[in-house]
Amino acid sequence: MKYLILILILGCAKKPEAQCDETAANQVIPKSNGKPTVLVIGDSISMGYVKYVRAGLPDKQVVHNPCNAENTTNTLSKIDSWLDTRETFDTITFNNGMWDTAFSENDPFEVPIDEYAINIRAIAEKVKAKTDQPIFVLTTEAPADIEPLGKNGRILLYNQAAEEVINDVGGIEIIDLYTVSTTIRGLHNEGVHFLPAGYQVLANAILDVIGEI
């Protein structure tokens, strides 16, 4: 039994998780403080860069969905509760893909690419209905030396599928955070995560677009 437990722990070790307060008080988006609100929807990568986006937008209230949006299936099951916290948002950035592409064989979080495309369309339409400034963010790179099982090839395919859907929906800006992430390969921390300097670079790419809108 001890060996089975060890295998399960090791199998989960590379899931893209970040520290998250799981108390009930932190399972909701903060109430409006009167400033225009930027909602960031995503997984632990956006959880890592959101504080740098917040620092770069002092005149706006930058909030993240509670904890980790995980895959598109999870996001679709919760997004209405996130979006219903405001009548409208000044800007919404959103991403799914790192979890959908799986981290191992038989990963329960994997979402087949056809289903992923359907889910992204549904998410995009919900986001677009709540803001005049919707932004989709491409999934960041999983370098081969960090994720050697071909995960990055799947990320490229899922990013392509997402771009096609987002362009078809129309009216949504796309930030190519994948390409940005390929320029900071030396700034990874653990697995697909980044050091603070790496998250700052990712945030700068987000800020560049938000600032232009």
The model's pLDDT over 15-28, given as tens digits with 9 standing for 90+, comes to 554 456 655 445 67
- Of 18-32, 54-68, 81-95, 113-127, where does mean pLDDT reach its minimum? 18-32
**CATH code for position 191:** 3.40.50.1110
Give the global pTM: 0.88
pLDDT at residue 71 in the model? 97
The identity of residue 144, as a single letter, is A
What is the average pLDDT score of the chain? 88
- Is residue 95, in this structure, part of any structural domain at all? yes
Would residue 29 count as lying in a domain?
Answer: no
* Residue 117 to residue 166: CA distance in whole angstroms: 9
Residue 40 lies in a domain: yes
In a domain, 189, yes or no: yes
Report CA-CA distances (Å) from 97 to 16, 18, 47, 53, 172: 11, 16, 14, 20, 17
Residue 23 lies in a domain: no
Task: Name the pLDDT band for 2 (thresholds 50, 70, 90).
Answer: very low
Q: Is residue 13 part of a domain?
A: no
* Residue 68 belongs to domain spanning: 34-212
Number of domains in the chain: 1
What count of other Cβ atoms lies within 10 Å of the Cβ of residue 142?
Answer: 27
Portion of the chain with pLDDT greater than 70, in percent: 86
Residue 126 lies in a domain: yes
pLDDT tens profile 154-186 = 999 999 999 999 999 999 999 999 999 999 998
Q: Is residue 6 part of a domain?
A: no
Rounded CA separation 72/110 (Å): 9
The predicted model gives 144-152 an average pLDDT of 81
State the Cα–Cα distance between residues 117 and 208, nearest whole angstrom.
27
